[in-house]
């Protein structure tokens, strides 16, 4: 029988570190919108009406630094920037879908989570 991995600190816990990738304002929304293809900043602002420029910029920058998004400068007139999911970012989509399935499963049960 093998013993489960128990982290000695929160910083060592792989699950906690993975959840940090998803935490933060608008990150899950950005992931889901980017699954349909490249996203542009102003398009994200329109699709997330309660987002503001600053919080959206921070989320995009953090996701880019984590290697989840690529920032691509499109040199067409007018010049614009698109954000594309990286391979690492695409792997997170499966996690979000699993979380969605858990929510759907528990909503179907009487007394399930709201």
The answer to whether the beta carbons of residues 41 and 33 sit under 8 Å apart is no
pTM (2 d.p.):
0.76
Q: Does domain 13-108 have CATH number 4.10.640.10?
A: no
Q: Over the stretch 29-82, which tens digit does the pLDDT of each residue have?
A: 998 899 999 999 999 999 999 999 999 999 999 999 999 999 999 998 888 999
For residue 15, the model assigns a pLDDT of 77
The answer to whether residue 112 scores a pLDDT higher than 70 is: no
Domain residue ranges in the chain: 13-108
| Arithmetic mean of pLDDT over the chain | 85
Residues 95, 44: Cα–Cα separation, whole Å: 22
For residue 39, the model assigns a pLDDT of 96
The answer to whether residue 20 scores a pLDDT higher than 60 is: yes
State whether residue 72 is helix, strand or coil.
strand
State whether residue 88 is helix, strand or coil.
helix
Q: Beta-carbon neighbour count of residue 70 at 10 Å? A: 15
Alpha-carbon radius of gyration of the chain: 17
């Amino acid at each position: 029988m093998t013993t489960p991995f128990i982290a000695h600190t929160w910083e060592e816990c792989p699950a906690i570190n993975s959840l940090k990738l998803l935490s933060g304002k608008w990150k899950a929304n950005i992931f889901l919108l980017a699954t349909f293809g490249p996203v542009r900043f102003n398009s994200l602002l329109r699709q997330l009406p309660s987002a503001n420029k600053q919080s959206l910029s921070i989320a995009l920058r953090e996701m880019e630094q984590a290697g989840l998004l690529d920032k691509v400068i499109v040199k067409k007139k007018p010049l614009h920037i698109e954000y594309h999911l990286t391979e690492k970012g695409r792997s997170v989509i499966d996690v979000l879908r699993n979380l969605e399935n858990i929510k759907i499963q528990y909503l179907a049960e009487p007394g399930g989570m709201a």
